[in-house]
Structure 1
């Protein structure tokens, strides 16, 4: 499915710690997912998140909690509950950054991801092959996973920091509860394939993209 526009937008929401709606959304990623979907038009078809290229990432410090929302169309901030944020919503057009991101450029990157691999059960002849179970990766295995994903995304990492994050749990509409083990990868890299990078930036990487994982962010490396 193609994006609605060629550009990308980034919205930064600084959540109000005294907002009951914000606190409720932070307890369960399915709730935050639905809140973010409500910021976009209803007429986006059967797969609205994919149609609008909606990705988001939650960033916390001791003093604040911020939601970064990336999308092909700007959010409707008027759809936020009163008092949901404690500052005005900040907007940024990412098009100049995308135009700048050519082969050989050095960037800083960040992504919260669920590194995992599929482990298949033994296969008996004449019996349908069972679906593989995805097993979370840690340590060097997780770093190796990110190196592979980064290469597919048109990046050659130079520095990789892997920081374990709180697990993401969510209730699907079907009632099934899911959980993702989360690693934040950040560092510096050289762009090797701008087209592959653009695809990764727009589509995200890995599992859990509906629940705040897989959003790749880049910025020029000023060091």
Structure 2
């Protein structure tokens, strides 16, 4: 497994096109692997190509890729990077790729990590008993947090979202004044950017290319977790969480908790 980081040059028209269309970015990412064909479908139980776009500032947009094979992002450098600078630095060529396996193998039960995840939190609803269930996005921060805090989802993922110390909560026991659970006050979890993306998804049917509009709600979570099942967490980190993984969702990444913050908590 490999972890790759690519900084996007937002001044380039090619970068703006990729950032505005998850389908275009997906195609560009998958083109980084010469042996993969557009018709290939990942096995549900095997590591897959995952990607995520992080925008930390207006001019600092990073593309992260986790993949079973080492990617070649030359075409992305040409479309959405700094080609001249990359030519002067042949060692990095405009992106950085590191083996991911050693990090995955070091994960142990009880480890605490900071995490970041962009996901597509959804649930199924129906208005009448006779109506088939429809997949619908969670739109409020509390329901979006509830999606990730679901005990079964955490168990399958091999992690547990950490709770805040009692003296760090704004409300007693993490509840509102009406007695409802207030996830954001109880857990080390926050909802950052929420985006609604609309794009056309095209496919070939009966020899002709057809497209249909797709609307996708994505949410970026940040927080802290504890490893409860290292093997399950390795699967989560290499297979993703939730739906829309082809469109920049599902990639969970971990980072050390800063020492000063660790001591304060």
| TM-score bracket for this pair, using the shorter chain length | 0.7 to 0.9
Q: Which residue of 2 aligns with 1:155?
A: 159
Aligned partner of residue 130 in structure 1, secondary structure: coil
Normalised TM-score (structure 1): 0.85
Equivalent position SS for 2:11: coil
Tell me the SS of whatever aligns to 1:213: coil
Task: Quote the Cα distance in structure 2 between the aligned partners of 1:131 and 1:67.
Answer: 34
Where does 1:31-180 land on structure 2 (aligned, <5 Å)? Answer: 31-43=24-36, 46-48=39-41, 53-60=48-55, 61-80=57-76, 82=78, 84-86=80-82, 88-124=94-130, 130-148=132-150, 149-158=153-162, 159-174=188-203, 175-180=211-216
Q: Could you tell me whether the CA contact under 8 Å between 1:10 and 1:94 is conserved in 2?
A: yes
Q: CA deviation at 1:167?
A: 2.1
More helix by share: 2
Could you say what secondary structure the match of 1:210 adopts?
A: helix
- Count of matched residue pairs: 212
CA drift at 1:44: 5.3
8 Å Cα contact 2:5/2:96 also seen in 1: yes
Assess if the C-alpha contact under 8 Å between 2:47 and 2:239 holds in 1. no
Match of 2:90 in 1: none
In structure 1, list runs of 5 or more residues that go unmatched: 1-7
Q: Give the Å deviation of 1:52.
A: 6.2
Q: Is the 8 A contact 1:44 1:52 kept in 2?
A: no
User: RMSD across aligned C-alpha pairs, in angstroms?
Assistant: 2.2
- Structure index of larger Rg: 2
Cα distance change of structure 1 residues 189 and 81 upon mapping to structure 2, 3 Å threshold: closer
Q: What per-residue deviation string (whole Å, max 9, x for no partner) do you get for residues 53-97 of structure 1?
A: 111111111222111111110111234352531362011211121
Q: Which residue of 2 aligns with 1:204?
A: 240
Deviation string for 1:26-62 (max 9, x for gaps)? 1211111111111112445843455761111111112
